Chain A
Amino acid sequence: MEAQTQSQQMKLEIKDLHARIDGQEILKGLSLDIPKGEVHAIMGPNGSGKSTLSKVLAGHDDYEVTGGEVLMDGVNLLEMPADERSRAGLFMAFQYPVEIPGVSNANFIRAALQARLPNGEELDAVDFYKALYAKMDELEIDRKFTARSVNEGYSGGEKKRNEILQMAMLEPFYCVLDETDSGLDIDALKIVAKGVNAMRSPYRGFLVITHYQRLLDYIEPDHVHVMVNGRIVRSGGKGLALELEEKGYDWVRDELAVTA
């Protein structure tokens, strides 16, 4: 019984989440469970609040949570500042990765890993580079990117691959991918998907946020949710994504109107 309770808690649990920015409510009672080992996709039209969800989960200061809770393996995520959430095992791949001039990719990832170590403990540089190069090879990222400034002057595809590289190095328990497919051509998409798939494991949960079904051809979700107007309005298997693709978001909206 005890063990079962434990395993029940091994999930990212979003309960009736309300959040607003500049006084405007964007999330209006969103609930979703992402157990470890599963990939959940959220699809939705523009303006449905998908990106807000990822930023609220990551702890962006601009958003105010006005109700509900988020538990990560049973721990209240909303009480932690953004950096603590990260160190506790939450990762967000940004839709628009930010440039940090003068800070090399290697130094950045190294600093992030170092921040996870107890005080006084130093990251082993040799092990670090070994791991970094291995992951870069997997993601087909040229070695010269270790010395290049984080995201500065990268193409869209390079930025997104770099997000996945950071994710792979930080080994989070829960990954939120915010429209990682936007701005990617099909080859880049395949590489990114390969990187994500390589990280799928029983010990890790994924929330893949996307506007298009295309990404889900390569990252096959266990569950698909449709988000409209700050709520999950429909959940299903991966077939739901195809249905959406075929019928368009208006179909869900119309259906909702009928139900209402």
Chain B
Amino acid sequence: MIDEVQTVKNIASEKDAIGDFRFPERHKFDAGYGLTSKTVDYISDVKDDPDWVRAFRHKALAAFEEMPMPTHWATKDLESIDFDKIRYYLASGEAPKRSWDDVPEDVKRTFERLGIPEQERKFLAGVEAQYDSEAAYSNVKQAVTDQGVIFVNSTEGLKQHEDVFRKWFGKVIPTRDNKFSALNSAVFSGGSFIYVPPGVKVKHPLQAYFRINSENFGQFERTLIIVDEGAEVMYMEGCTAPKFETSTLHSAVVELVAMKDAKIQYVTVQNWSSNVFNLVTKRGVAHENAEIRWIDCNIGSRLTMKYPGVVMKGRKARGEVISIALANTGQHQDTGAKMIHAADETTSNVISKSISIGEGRSTYRGQVHIPKHLKGCKNNTECDALLINSSSRTDTYPAITVRGNDHATQHEASVSQVSQDQIFYMKQRGLSEAEAMSLSVNGFINDLVREFPMEYSVELKRLIDLEMEGSVG
């Protein structure tokens, strides 16, 4: 049975094929359809949550039910999510394995197909591989563990490291931050907990991979990363799901804490299939002279809403968001950044580039906040949009609030189109129309792609090439 990979019909392109396969479901635990307080109790029971977590979940559920859908500023498409037709917890009931050999065959083959074990061998310090609601594999290289670095899933984190976990959990992103952070807080499962002790610089990246295998399912991972004084870490996440007939929900909450002089780089390359609602809240707190960089690439999904933020809480803290979004027909990438300056001499930088193909739509929403009582803050915001076809769409909503006169802000925005002259020029040199488009698009984002680790930038270029292939003609 397991041998039969059900490759979903009508593979339009190789790009879809990358993540577009699935194995039969065999879940021991299934919370069933719909979300009530019973669902929350079911999850708490299965996970054997401590009481404070169970209470936290119930409070969050009440908040979720009470809070309105944010369609007054966001897209109406949110209304097409049917919360009664989603399953909120699916798990095999097995603890994550430390060795790929112990991982069930179907799950192992899934991640092999996605290249995870290979990447782990090549350049990663640790990997957590989540399959539906829970991690199937989780391992950290011994050298990293010896440095005192903790890298486990959120369940292990809250149980085994409660003192550190509880101190920060839900503090960077409160439950009521938005409707979907409330939803995540009610039903969260999986995701990573990372703690890096003072002064430890983790040399190689830690990686998490989030895989959805089941239909009519919601994935709600919760990640909390705490990097202590003077420590450094790079965390990378990737995500895929097969193409289902019905829509799938992915709603994560990611909280980062960079203590004094710490550095966190959080890299995302998502390649969701085109029916995933990807509604994610990501934010970090940077203390004195700390640095948080979000490096974010959004490909795929039906609707992505994601605005990574940095609260610069300590003097000279730095926040950065580098983001690339690619919206093809039937997709809406609503992305941006939030930079909250809360101390003197803090610096933020936002560079966002979006590409809209066919009838794809990309939206940039940026919020920069520098209050009056601060001194010497700087913000630079650049958002550039590239439109491939005449039916492609882009919107920009930058909200920059700067009070006081001791700050420097700079904002640049541009919209450009790949011109027929460019395409003809490249064709005259022998490139096909698709190759010419790919080259233009790669040129457009080239300076940002360099910010990604090499292994990811290669993958990124390949995904973009594949995305362009079906889009011209």
Task: Using known A-B contacts A103-B439, A103-B440, A103-B442, determine if residue A116 contacts B430 with beta carbons closer than 8 Å.
Answer: yes
User: In the complex, what distance in Å separates the CA atom of A115 from the CA atom of B426?
Assistant: 11
Is the pair B443, A149 in contact by a Cβ cutoff of 8 Å?
yes
Is the pair A83, B422 in contact by a Cβ cutoff of 8 Å?
no
User: In the complex, what distance in Å separates the CA atom of A87 from the CA atom of B428?
Assistant: 9
User: In the complex, what distance in Å separates the CA atom of A108 from the CA atom of B433?
Assistant: 14
8 Å CB interface, A79-121 against B:
81-83, 85-87, 91-92, 94, 97-103, 107-109, 111-112, 115-116
Task: Using known A-B contacts A86-B430, A108-B429, A111-B431, determine if residue A61 contacts B440 with beta carbons closer than 8 Å.
Answer: no
Q: Which 9 A-B pairs have the closest CB atoms?
A: A102-B443, A103-B443, A98-B425, A86-B430, A82-B427, A112-B429, A102-B446, A83-B427, A115-B430
Q: Smallest Cβ distance from B419 to chain A, in angstroms? A: 8
Interface check A166, CB cutoff 8 A: yes
Is the pair A102, B442 in contact by a Cβ cutoff of 8 Å?
yes
User: In the complex, what distance in Å separates the CA atom of A103 from the CA atom of B386?
Assistant: 15
Q: Smallest Cβ distance from B447 to chain A, in angstroms? A: 7
Is the pair A98, B422 in contact by a Cβ cutoff of 8 Å?
yes
Residues of chain A contacted by B442 (CB below 8 angstroms): 102-103
Is the pair A92, B428 in contact by a Cβ cutoff of 8 Å?
yes
User: In the complex, what distance in Å separates the CA atom of A60 from the CA atom of B428?
Assistant: 9
Q: Which of A81, A92, A102, A112 has the most CB of B within 10 A?
A: A102
8 Å CB interface, A198-218 against B:
none
User: In the complex, what distance in Å separates the CA atom of A112 from the CA atom of B435?
Assistant: 10
User: In the complex, what distance in Å separates the CA atom of A107 from the CA atom of B425?
Assistant: 15
Name the CB-closest residue of A to B430. Answer: A86
Task: Using known A-B contacts A98-B422, A111-B435, determine if residue A58 contacts B428 with beta carbons closer than 8 Å.
Answer: yes
Interface check B253, CB cutoff 8 A: no
Residues of chain B contacted by A85 (CB below 8 angstroms): 428
Q: Smallest Cβ distance from B305 to chain A, in angstroms? A: 28
User: In the complex, what distance in Å separates the CA atom of A107 from the CA atom of B446?
Assistant: 12
A-B contacts, 7 of them at CB < 8 A, read: A81-B427, A100-B422, A100-B439, A101-B443, A108-B439, A115-B432, A149-B443
Main secondary structure of the interface of B (DSSP, over half): helix
Name the CB-closest residue of B to A96. Answer: B421
Chain B, residues 426-465, CB within 8 Å of chain A (1/0): the string is: 1111111101100110111111000000000000000000
User: In the complex, what distance in Å separates the CA atom of A208 from the CA atom of B420?
Assistant: 25
Name the contact of A83 in the complex, choosing from B421, B433, B439, B446 (C-beta under 8 A).
Answer: B433
Is the pair A60, B424 in contact by a Cβ cutoff of 8 Å?
yes
Name the contact of B435 in the complex, choosing from A58, A59, A102, A115 (C-beta under 8 A).
Answer: A115
Interface check A78, CB cutoff 8 A: no
Name the CB-closest residue of B to A169. Answer: B429
Residues of chain B contacted by A107 (CB below 8 angstroms): 439
Name the CB-closest residue of A to B433. Answer: A83
User: In the complex, what distance in Å separates the CA atom of A166 from the CA atom of B425?
Assistant: 12
Main secondary structure of the interface of A (DSSP, over half): mixed
**Using a Cβ–Cβ cut-off of 8 Å, how many residues does chain B contribute to the interface with A?**
24
Task: Using known A-B contacts A87-B430, A102-B446, A115-B430, determine if residue A97 contacts B435 with beta carbons closer than 8 Å.
Answer: no
User: In the complex, what distance in Å separates the CA atom of A94 from the CA atom of B442?
Assistant: 23
Interface check A71, CB cutoff 8 A: no
Interface check A188, CB cutoff 8 A: no
Is the pair B444, A101 in contact by a Cβ cutoff of 8 Å?
yes
Q: Smallest Cβ distance from B14 to chain A, in angstroms? A: 14
User: In the complex, what distance in Å separates the CA atom of A115 from the CA atom of B421?
Assistant: 19
User: In the complex, what distance in Å separates the CA atom of A97 from the CA atom of B425?
Assistant: 8
Name the CB-closest residue of A to B426. Answer: A100
Interface check A252, CB cutoff 8 A: no
Q: Smallest Cβ distance from A195 to chain B, in angstroms? A: 17
Residues of chain A contacted by B447 (CB below 8 angstroms): 102
Name the contact of B429 in the complex, choosing from A81, A86, A99 (C-beta under 8 A).
Answer: A86
Is the pair A170, B430 in contact by a Cβ cutoff of 8 Å?
yes
Residues of chain A contacted by B431 (CB below 8 angstroms): 83, 111-112, 115
Task: Using known A-B contacts A61-B424, A98-B421, A100-B422, determine if residue A112 contacts B430 with beta carbons closer than 8 Å.
Answer: yes
User: In the complex, what distance in Å separates the CA atom of A237 from the CA atom of B170?
Assistant: 85
Residues of chain A contacted by B419 (CB below 8 angstroms): 98
8 Å CB interface, A166-200 against B:
166, 170
Is the pair B425, A94 in contact by a Cβ cutoff of 8 Å?
yes
User: In the complex, what distance in Å separates the CA atom of A141 from the CA atom of B440?
Assistant: 24
Name the CB-closest residue of B to A152. Answer: B443
- Apart from A112-B426, A115-B431, 16 more pairs, CB < 8 Å: A58-B428, A61-B424, A82-B428, A86-B427, A86-B430, A92-B428, A94-B428, A100-B422, A100-B425, A101-B443, A102-B442, A103-B442, A103-B443, A103-B446, A108-B439, A170-B429
Residues of chain A contacted by B422 (CB below 8 angstroms): 98-100
Q: Smallest Cβ distance from A182 to chain B, in angstroms? A: 17
User: In the complex, what distance in Å separates the CA atom of A82 from the CA atom of B435?
Assistant: 13
Chain A, residues 56-72, CB within 8 Å of chain B (1/0): the string is: 00111100000000000
8 Å CB interface, B387-430 against A:
419-422, 424-430
Residues of chain B contacted by A116 (CB below 8 angstroms): 430
Is the pair B445, A102 in contact by a Cβ cutoff of 8 Å?
yes
Q: Smallest Cβ distance from A99 to chain B, in angstroms? A: 8
User: In the complex, what distance in Å separates the CA atom of A98 from the CA atom of B420?
Assistant: 10
User: In the complex, what distance in Å separates the CA atom of A149 from the CA atom of B432?
Assistant: 20
User: In the complex, what distance in Å separates the CA atom of A94 from the CA atom of B424?
Assistant: 11
Residues of chain B contacted by A111 (CB below 8 angstroms): 431, 435, 439
Residues of chain A contacted by B446 (CB below 8 angstroms): 102-103
Name the CB-closest residue of A to B440. Answer: A100
